[in-house]
Amino acid sequence: MKLRALTLSALACLLAARADEGMWTLDNLPTKQLQEKFGFTPTQEWVDHLRLSSLHWGGASGSFISADGLVLTNHHVGRGSVARVSTKENDYLTKGFMAKTRAEELKIPGLTVRTLIHMENVTDKVAAAVKAGLSEKDAQKAREKVIEELTADAKKRTNLQCQPVSFYEGGETWIYGYQVHDDLRLVAAPELEMAMFGQNFDNFTYLRHSLDFCIFRVYGKDGQPYKPKHFLSWASEPLKAGDLTFVSGHPGRTSRANTYAQMMFERDFGAPLTLKAQERQIATLKAYGAGSLEKAREVTTQRLGIENGWKAGFGYHLGLKNPAYMAEVKKREEALKAAVAMDPALKASAGQAWSKIEAAQKARLTWYKDAMFLGSAGGGVVGQGLALLRFVEESAKPAAKRSSGYETDEKLKAIRTRLEGGPAAAPVKEMNILLYATTLKVAQEELPAQHLILQTLLAGKTPEAAAKAMLEGSKLADPAVRKALLEGGAKALAESTDPAMIAARKLAPLAAKVRAAQETYTATLSEQASRIAKARFKVYGKNTFPDANSTLRLGFGTVSGYESGGTLLQPFTTFAGLYDRHWGWGGNAAKAEDGSWTLPQRWIDGRSKVELSRPLNFVHSVDTIGGNSGSPIVNRKGELVGLLFDGNYEGLPSRYYYDVKLNRSVSVDARGIVEALSTVMDGGHIAKEILGQ
């Protein structure tokens, strides 16, 4: 008992050291911590208002900001939408966009955002479906079956878009129901040079001077502006250093609850391979874009997205390679193991969980590369061929013997609809051929020369020749061709001379083998991680938050600078700093570093109109990660004070480990947005709408 008490005491100290960390689910907010540290306790009304004002924007976030359906997110979140409505003659990425009237607002095809309406804890129902003595695979199947049934029931009851979400590595399961908004129109966007001032050099850094915002409007089914019941009012008081701020958004993924063995796999194997592939893709896109202004426009959105992912991944990897961080991770894991070992019930349940996960990581080494290169095979068309083969194979089986995801006729119908659907095939672009050739080159470097994947995809050709032959020769990108093959069934697939189908038939046995290995790995990880999570609950309660998984979370922190490079960085930057950095790099004439710090001409001409002391960006200690882009930042009153768009480079290791001294998030100041709209962007009418004037 004495040893156990010491272990629990050590764990409590470790938790206290992380007191400022937090991406909290709305059902489990740290109200005691907020009251003790800041004298603030959020009411349920405050929480609900923030939830219903927040938007899930695919892999990012946004919020309602007016009674007539205006929504705010980052420019880099809306960049793809801006590009989608741009043309060679009207390149809104380059020159920006402002709708002078609602009739001028541009509808974005295919864009949807969602509001979280329904939250239902079904943990006990899922646990009851897993009977004692089931194997890991059978337990996983039992969970999947009951979760599917519960999700369907919630959808029927609520008439919402429902999905299951897992927290605490399977320790909890919830059903979330969303209201979907599918008519969004572009209202305002600054130029890319303003939204991404400093480009990739300044990305994930501070001091920052970026006008990274974009405004859309949601329309209802009647074609009129949507009237949200909840939206965020603009702040009535100026934000100051030391002020408490809250972030409401959808952080994409953290891995802080991963075991030490999982982190070591990523450090030594997973991350280096991903970073290498991204580096090659970036080089390919840069070379292609250098060919002409039109080619540069064609690749800008894709290139910037990959560059952002690479820089983030590089920072995450630095955290995994930091001996001090990893020593702390190991220390915490050993403390929890010791507590489990001292409790007979916990030892029986979770005592072997860490070693089983470690063994699963070692087994993963044998198929990880195969899975990666099968996933990118044929620039997508071979993947289509593999999907067609699997569908026909599963369809021929009795329902009871089909694989997960294919069990019912309803599921088969949905899969077939996806396989037969999609836009009409577009002409193959030179860029796509170059990118696929780049993937083949990486595969050549990572796989043995006689590997089936290389032998099949290269077929004795150079990567460039193989990529050109595959993408120009295959017709599987055409939905009509896929539909005809499905109608022809197994015979049509077996006799097809399409190069992608020929490759798919050769790779299908390997794909099945890799899929089986992945399923075993997933089942093991799900079962053992859940056991660890339940042990963690029992040892020190639900006094923490689950890893990020793109669900709505609340974080908090104060506006505060931090030490870097031997000095203190100020909490706010201003428009004066924007111009200073521009001039410091020689202005537009210098075009330093490919024009990373150039400014649009109207911002140079309009400098006298801008209040130079107006705050533009600020830094604060809220705990965020990718997916939080576009998250609203609010004050104690729930009023909007900023728009989160980035984190600092020193804090990138927070994917795996949070350091309160270094982790900072970077946001656009709400005052800077109004200043830009009211002066240079000619958007005074939008500024008035969001200010409620």
**Per-residue pLDDT band at 458 (split at 50, 70, 90):** very high
- Output the pLDDT for position 12: 41
User: Does pLDDT of 327 surpass 80?
Assistant: yes
Residue finishing a domain among 545, 561, 576 = 545
Query: Are residues 506 and 359 part of one domain?
Result: yes
Residue finishing a domain among 508, 530, 545 = 545
Tally of domains within the chain: 2
Query: Are residues 590 and 536 part of one domain?
Result: no
- Cβ–Cβ < 8 Å for 65, 232: yes
Query: Are residues 556 and 498 part of one domain?
Result: no
- Using one digit for the tens of pLDDT, what is the confidence trace for 239-283? 999 999 999 999 999 999 999 999 999 999 999 999 999 999 999
- In-domain check, residue 555: yes
Query: Are residues 521 and 381 part of one domain?
Result: yes
- In-domain check, residue 603: yes
- Output the pLDDT for position 4: 39
Query: Are residues 618 and 494 part of one domain?
Result: no
- Output the pLDDT for position 9: 41
Domain containing 37 — which CATH number?
A: 2.40.10.120
User: Does pLDDT of 615 surpass 60?
Assistant: yes
- Using one digit for the tens of pLDDT, what is the confidence trace for 501-543? 999 999 999 999 999 999 999 999 999 999 999 899 888 777 8
Query: Are residues 99 and 197 part of one domain?
Result: yes
**Per-residue pLDDT band at 20 (split at 50, 70, 90):** low
- In-domain check, residue 293: no
**Other Cβ atoms closer than 10 A to 381:** 25
Residue 313, classed as helix, strand or coil, is: helix
- Cβ–Cβ < 8 Å for 333, 260: yes
- Using one digit for the tens of pLDDT, what is the confidence trace for 369-422? 999 999 887 678 999 999 999 999 999 999 888 988 898 888 999 999 999 988
C-alpha–C-alpha distance, residues 595 and 582, integer Å: 10
> Which amino acid is located at 404 in the chain?
S
Query: Are residues 455 and 398 part of one domain?
Result: yes
Higher pLDDT, residue 407 or 176: 176
**Per-residue pLDDT band at 10 (split at 50, 70, 90):** very low
The C-alpha torsion from 555 through 63 and 654 to 278, rounded to 10°, is: 170
Q: With 0-12 CB in 10 A as exposed, 13-18 as middle and 19+ as buried, what is 338?
A: middle
Q: Do the strands 97-98 and 106-107 form a parallel or antiparallel pair, or are they unpaired? A: unpaired
Query: Are residues 507 and 563 part of one domain?
Result: no
- In-domain check, residue 513: yes
- Cβ–Cβ < 8 Å for 185, 152: no
Query: Are residues 563 and 522 part of one domain?
Result: no
Query: Are residues 501 and 442 part of one domain?
Result: yes
pTM > 0.95: no
> Which amino acid is located at 545 in the chain?
F
Those residues whose C-beta lies under 8 Å from the C-beta of residue 451, and which sit 6 or more positions away, are none
Residue 620, classed as helix, strand or coil, is: strand
Residue finishing a domain among 516, 545, 574 = 545
Query: Are residues 237 and 94 part of one domain?
Result: yes
User: Does pLDDT of 427 surpass 90?
Assistant: no
Mean pLDDT score across all residues of the chain: 93
State the average pLDDT over residues 322-336: 94
Q: Which domain holds residue 488?
A: 352-545
Query: Are residues 415 and 464 part of one domain?
Result: yes
**Per-residue pLDDT band at 682 (split at 50, 70, 90):** very high
- In-domain check, residue 320: no
C-alpha–C-alpha distance, residues 7 and 116, integer Å: 39
**Per-residue pLDDT band at 6 (split at 50, 70, 90):** very low
- In-domain check, residue 453: yes
- Output the pLDDT for position 379: 72
